[in-house]
Amino acid sequence: MHILKILFKNAFRHKLRTGLTIISITIALLAFGLLRTVIDAWYAGVEASSAYRLVTRNAVSIIFPLPLSYKDRIRQVDGVSAVSWGNWFGGIYIDEKNFFANFAVDARTYFDLYREYAIPDDQRTAFMRDRKGFVAGRKLAQRFGWKIGDTVVLKGTIFPGNWEFVMRGIYRGRDPNADETVFVFHWDYLNETLKKAASTRVDQVGFYMVGIRDPARATSITDAVDSLFKNSYAETITETEKAFTLGFVAMSDAIITAIELVSFVVIIIILAVVANTVAMSVRERTNEYAVFKTLGFGGWRVAGLILGESIVITMLGCAFGVAATYPAAQIFGKAMGAYFPVFHVSPGTLLLDVAFSFVVGILAALVPIYRTLRMRIAEGLRMVE
């Protein structure tokens, strides 16, 4: 007879109670896993950012543009390998609820700088040839059922009017963190259309994406770029892509903190549930633990039986919780795809699930163990369920 068999038999003496406890743990860990995945999704852009890219924007605010002429001066900075630029377009597809990120980008340089986006050569060529062409991420194309050659109209918000585009390519992410929900089109198309409207916004870009050869030199390059435009009418701030993305995420810091708090509260609640179950079970079996001690089982062996039972219950709940997290995350990710382009359950989240379950199993058993160790055998033997 193995001790493990005793642990399982003890754990399932009250099948209903243990079953309900395991279901509680499963639901709690499912909630915990999803909340952690939401936090991960929030930071997915940060994780996906490349150390080989810097972002240069207007020092006053991202909403103020920079002159197109800066591109040549930035390119000449020592350590810079490539320069691309773009504008946040902010177009709406049919309805505001169909939100997705859409940018006007310099088509000649963009995909060379964003190598994590894989686009077939023929599609890229077709995109380059068609000034009204656009390329969408795989998930975005799937979401709206777009196919190559389809015409898509976006209603401009920052740049008024109805803007017509033709789908010329679909890109895929080379790694799981790559955002596959972005819509990019020719910056030239935007700029030339603005020219026709005699707008003052011609030859103005929202931001520059700067490729660098050595991430270790990022600080000196950012300083060098910014010093080029010091005291100009449009001073710049250059930062690593990671810092740039983190700046956006920081705006929703309070929400993330709240989600993190809720995720830990879930763990505390489940600790109370498991502690209650274990305490009830051990209390009902005080007599049996006294028998174990009488037979020569030392205090720590008895403690091991209680601890083991508690861990069996929590780890079973953990296993079911982890198993349920994957399909739940898929459903959640599909439903919230517009807001969380990357929604994957990370190994870190699973590790946290397992670690917290283990810790809950240990903590829940502490008080019953303490009581059982302190119990005098003669007193325990007198207790009958």
Q: Least CB distance from residue 305 to other proteins, whole Å? A: 11
Residue 29 CB contacts under 8 Å (≥ 6 apart), including other chains: 270, 317, 318, 320, 321, 322, 325, 353, 356, 357
Closest CA to 350 of 40, 13, 19: 40
Q: Which of 19, 120, 161, 298 binds other proteins (CB under 8 A)?
A: 298
Contact 83, 210 (CB under 8 A): yes
Q: Which of 71, 143, 168, 293 binds other proteins (CB under 8 A)?
A: 293
Q: Which of 299, 332, 344, 354 binds other proteins (CB under 8 A)?
A: 299
Instruction: Please say which residue, 254 or 295, places its beta carbon nearer to other proteins.
Output: 295
Place of tokens 């709206």: 144
Q: Is residue 371 involved in binding other proteins (CB under 8 A)? A: no
Q: Is residue 6 involved in binding other proteins (CB under 8 A)? A: yes
Residue 10-29 contact track with other proteins, rule CB under 8 A, x = bound: x--x----------------
Q: Which of 145, 149, 160, 296 binds other proteins (CB under 8 A)?
A: 296
* Max CA distance (Å), the chain: 97
100, HSE (Cβ side, Cα atoms, 13 Å) = 23
Q: Among the candidate windows 96-104, 156-164, 214-222, 294-302, which touches other proteins by CB under 8 A?
A: 294-302
Place of tokens 């390059």: 221
Residues in binding contact with other proteins, number by CB under 8 A: 24
Q: Is residue 295 involved in binding other proteins (CB under 8 A)? A: yes
Q: Least CB distance from residue 360 to other proteins, whole Å? A: 24
Question: Can you tell me the distance from the alpha carbon of 380 to that of 373, in angstroms, rounded to the nearest whole number?
Answer: 11
Q: Among the candidate windows 140-148, 175-183, 335-343, 371-379, which touches other proteins by CB under 8 A?
A: 371-379
CB atoms within 10 A of CB 186: 23
Q: Which of 287, 358, 371, 383 binds other proteins (CB under 8 A)?
A: 287
| Region of residue 54 (left: phi > 0; alpha: psi -120 to 50; beta: else) | beta
Tokens representing 14 are: 């009250």
| Bridge-based pairing state of the strands 53-58 and 80-88 | unpaired
Q: Is residue 291 involved in binding other proteins (CB under 8 A)? A: yes
Instruction: Please say which residue, 270 or 290, places its beta carbon nearer to other proteins.
Output: 290
Q: Least CB distance from residue 291 to other proteins, whole Å? A: 5
CA distances from 130 to 68, 118, 149, 189 (A): 22, 19, 11, 10
- Binding positions for other proteins, rule: CB under 8 A: 1, 3, 5-6, 9-10, 13, 287-288, 291-299, 301, 376-378, 381, 384
